[in-house]
Amino acid sequence: MNLSKLESILKGRSSQPHQLIEVLHDVQEHYGYIPEEAMREISKTLGVPLIEVYRVASFYKAFKLKPTGKYVITVCNGTACHVRGAQLLLDQATSQLGIKPGEVTDDGMFSIEHVNCLGACALGPIASENGTLGHHMTPAKLRKLINSLNREVKKEVKHA
C-alpha cells in the first residue's frame, strides 16, 4: 500500500477527531476502499480510538472495507427498478459471475453491488458499470455487457 498518499490526506488534520469522516471519504476515493493500515494510521494521527474509526467505517454504506473489482456492476433495487424486474438483472449478474452482491471475483476484475436508488427511475431498470448507467436493462443486455467486459479483461491479460 502506498502510504505517501495517506500522509498527504492526513496532513494538517492531526488531532482533529471531527475530521474523521472527511478523511475516510478521501481515503475511500483514493484507494477504492479503506485498508486496515489506513485505519490504524488515521486512528493514530487524528487521536480517535481505533474502534471508533472501525465503527464509523462499518456504519456507513459509502465506506467499503474490502477492495472492489476493477469493474463494479451496480444493480439498482429502487422501487421503480424493482417493479420492472431488477431482481432478474441481479440474478443474471450473480449467476454469470458466480459471486454474490458485495463480493469480488477471484481474479479481482468484477464485483456486484445493489443500491437502493440511482436517481434515474424513469430509465429503469438500471444496471451501471463503474458509474456508467445502462438504461432499460434486460438480462440479455446485461449478459452482453458483462461478456464484452470479459473480452476486454482477456485482451488486457494478453497484452500484459
Q: Which residues in this chain contact another protein in the complex, by CB under 8 A?
A: 36, 39, 49-55, 58-59
Compute the least distance from the CB of residue 43 to another protein, in Å.
Answer: 8
Nearer to another protein, 55 or 151 (CB): 55
**Cα 42 to Cα 63: distance, rounded to the nearest angstrom:** 14
Compute the least distance from the CB of residue 95 to another protein, in Å.
Answer: 25
Helix residue spans in the chain (DSSP H): 3-10, 20-31, 36-46, 50-59, 79-83, 86-97, 139-159
Nearer to another protein, 51 or 160 (CB): 51
Pairing of β 71-76 and β 127-129? antiparallel
In which residue are the cell numbers 477492495 written? Answer: 67
Compute the least distance from the CB of residue 82 to another protein, in Å.
Answer: 19
Nearer to another protein, 39 or 112 (CB): 39
Strand, coil or helix: 60 = coil
